[in-house]
């Protein structure tokens, strides 16, 4: 009988196992809990939400809502368990963390095709069956070593320093100007100029803002080249204006003068719909980020497609080491799923696991593997793992509409969301037909 091994019983691993079993494939699901726990995991059960209990927006017109809709279409175990363990949370889907984890465990244990093996994997499972690695961002050292032997080490990252990303449509271009430093090139950067008073107000807000409480296992030391913006600010009033907010070579065309400080925004995607705040990696809480960064001229109404964050995060440089089916380029037996594959977030990890389970099962059955169309939420999310949009380093991303192929220019701004949703739903129907063929 066709079989696969899945390493890690988190969100991605449970989805992969569930999906593969739905194709009649036998699954060995390896989970080290409750014998061994990562520093963030506490519950003995599967699919543990390690931090927030929110699976974010449930609204069908949001990108993450659309991803959930597609997951439901593919009989996601995470969506099924969330439906019966939800707690009221406005437009968001939030769950009772313990009930949710217990419900996923119950479903997995009651599936006759899935055998749960409670042990740490420290060597590749024997045999030829496809393996799905879904060991998460806090995978054990042995797992990281096994992966490291299959790829070159610069392609495994251990530290995630994320700057916030804002949507272009939410920026105030009456205050922002395009320019590269010293007019070198075409004006690829967007620049938010500050006078002295604006900078001092911003600095004061930054110094007073709340930071995320650090966990015991998170290293207090930061790389000098990647310091959180608030840590730099504490070093002295001019540290930022000599660092990431340096104004030299960025004269404001509206005044013909050099501003006191400048926040630069760099394009995050090829479509130019998303921009990141250069050098603004941060540990501030999300409400604090909203308040502090909206004090930057031009960002008063900024919508955040991703908030800044710094935490340990083991993930692959996906565009370098994975193929279009999320298999290692160096070993087609091994699929990589969840956060360790380079996606970001609970929902994305679960969805990516589901898709890895689909293709691992197809591989075990000798069926052709599938790539979801680019305009679906699955396709957009997986597409991000295929290219790094010209960036020097690959960075994980939450699902957002900036990852979808943009509508043609003749589509009016007010009709863009509807166009994206309509395209996604049409392409998802095509995908379902290919799966069922
Ligand atoms: C501290 C922290 C907080 C986070 N908070 C949020 C948040 O609030 N919201 C959000 O959307 N995302 C958050 N994330 C990011 C991410 O969405 C979650 O980490 C998510 O749980 C990833 O799902 P996963 O299935 O890839 O990994 P996990 O859910 O971590 O599952 C991996 C599983 O593999 C097991 N395992 C590891 N190594 C082995 C091994 N060698 N053998 C057998 N089993 C093994 C682990 O015990 C675990 O059960 C957070 C990440 C971290 C590290």
Please compute the mean of the pLDDT values over residues 400-419 and round it to a whole number: 92
Helix (H/G/I), strand (E/B), else coil: 435: helix
Ligand 1: centre distance to CA 351 (Å): 14
Percent of the chain with pLDDT over 70: 94
Ligand 1: centre distance to CA 315 (Å): 11
Compute how many other C-beta atoms are within 10 angstroms of the C-beta atom of residue 90: 9
Ligand 1: centre distance to CA 50 (Å): 7
pLDDT at residue 227 in the model: 79
Instruction: Output phi, psi for 237, to 5 deg.
Output: -65, -25
**Residue 412 burial (C-beta neighbours within 10 Å; 0-12, 13-18, 19+):** exposed
Q: What is the dihedral of CA 57, 59, 63, 64, to 10 degrees?
A: 40
Taken in order 313, 316, 318, 319, the sign of the CA dihedral is positive
pLDDT grade, residue 265 (50/70/90)?
A: very high
Atom of ligand 1 at shortest distance to CA of 12? 25
Q: What is the pTM of this model?
A: 0.81
Please compute the mean of the pLDDT values over residues 125-152 and round it to a whole number: 94
Q: Please state, in angstroms and rounded to a whole number, the distance separating the CA atoms of residues 353 and 97.
A: 20
Q: Is the pLDDT of residue 180 over 90?
A: no
Ligand 1: centre distance to CA 238 (Å): 39
Ligand 1: centre distance to CA 138 (Å): 6
Mutational test site, ligand 1, from 52, 53, 137, max ligand atoms within 8 Å of CB: 137
pLDDT at residue 217 in the model: 47
The three-state DSSP-derived secondary structure of 135-155 is CCCCCCHHHHHHHHHHCCHHH
pLDDT grade, residue 155 (50/70/90)?
A: confident
Question: Atom 19 of ligand 1 has which residue's CA nearest to it?
Answer: 137
Tens digits of residue pLDDT in 329-347: 999 999 999 999 999 999 9
Q: Which residues line ligand 1 (CB under 6 A)?
A: 7-13, 30-33, 38, 40-41, 50-52, 120-121, 134-140, 142-143, 311, 338-340, 345-346, 349
Mutational test site, ligand 1, from 53, 123, 138, 312, max ligand atoms within 8 Å of CB: 138
Ligand 1: centre distance to CA 375 (Å): 27
Ligand 1: centre distance to CA 342 (Å): 12
If you write DSSP's letter for every residue of 241-275 in order, what string do you get?
Answer: TTTTT--TT--BTTTTB--SEEEEEEE-STTS-EE
Tens digits of residue pLDDT in 189-219: 899 999 999 999 999 999 999 887 765 544 4
Q: Please state, in angstroms and rounded to a whole number, the distance separating the CA atoms of residues 131 and 121.
A: 12
Ramachandran category for residue 332: left, alpha or beta (phi over 0 → left; psi -120 to 50 → alpha):
alpha
Least confident range from 170-184, 202-216, 282-296, 412-426: namely 202-216
Tens digits of residue pLDDT in 298-323: 999 999 988 998 777 889 999 999 99
* Cβ-contact 21, 27 below 8 angstroms: yes
């Amino acid at each position: 009988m066709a079989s696969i091994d899945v390493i890690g019983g988190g969100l991605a691993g449970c989805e992969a196992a569930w999906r593969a079993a739905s194709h009649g494939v036998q699954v060995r699901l390896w989970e080290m809990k409750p014998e061994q726990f990562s520093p963030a995991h506490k519950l003995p059960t599967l699919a543990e939400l390690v931090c927030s209990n929110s699976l974010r927006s449930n609204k069908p017109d949001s990108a993450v809502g659309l991803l959930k809709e597609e997951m439901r279409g593919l009989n996601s175990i995470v969506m099924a368990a969330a439906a019966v363990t939800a707690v009221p949370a406005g437009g968001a889907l939030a769950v009772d963390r313990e009930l949710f984890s217990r419900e996923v465990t119950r479903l997995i244990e009651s599936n006759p095709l899935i055998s749960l093996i409670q042990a740490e994997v420290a060597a590749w499972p024997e045999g030829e069956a496809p393996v799905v690695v879904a060991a998460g961002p806090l995978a054990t050292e042995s797992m990281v070593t096994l992966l490291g032997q299959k790829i070159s080490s610069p392609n495994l990252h251990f530290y995630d320093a994320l700057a916030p990303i804002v949507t272009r449509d939410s920026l105030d271009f009456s205050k922002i100007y395009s320019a590269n430093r010293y007019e070198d090139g075409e004006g690829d950067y967007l620049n938010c100029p500050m006078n002295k008073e604006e900078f001092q107000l911003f600095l004061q807000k930054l110094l007073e803002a709340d930071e995320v409480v650090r966990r015991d296992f998170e290293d207090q030391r930061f790389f000098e080249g990647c310091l959180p913006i608030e840590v730099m600010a504490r070093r002295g009033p001019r540290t930022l204006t000599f660092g990431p907010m340096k104004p030299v070579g960025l004269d404001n065309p509206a005044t013909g003068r050099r501003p006191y400080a400048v926040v630069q925004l760099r394009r995050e995607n090829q479509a130019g719909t998303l921009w990141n705040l250069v050098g603004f990696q941060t540990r501030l809480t999300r409400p604090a980020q909203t308040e502090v960064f909206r004090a930057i001229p031009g960002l008063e109404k900024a919508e955040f497609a991703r908030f800044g964050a710094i935490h340990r995060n083991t993930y692959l440089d996906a565009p370098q080491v994975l193929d279009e089916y999320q298999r290692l380029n160096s070993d087609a037996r091994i699929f990589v799923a969840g956060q360790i594959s380079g996606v970001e977030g609970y929902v994305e990890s679960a969805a990516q696991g589901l898709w890895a389970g689909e293709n691992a099962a197809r591989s075990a059955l000798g069926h052709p593997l599938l790539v979801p169309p680019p305009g679906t939420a699955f396709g957009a999310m997986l597409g991000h793992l295929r290219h790094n949009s010209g960036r020097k380093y690959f960075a994980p991303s939450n699902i957002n509409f900036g990852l979808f192929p943009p509508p043609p220019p003749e589509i009016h701004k007010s009709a863009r969301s509807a166009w994206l949703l309509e395209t996604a739903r049409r392409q998802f129907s095509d995908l379902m037909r290919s799966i069922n063929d």
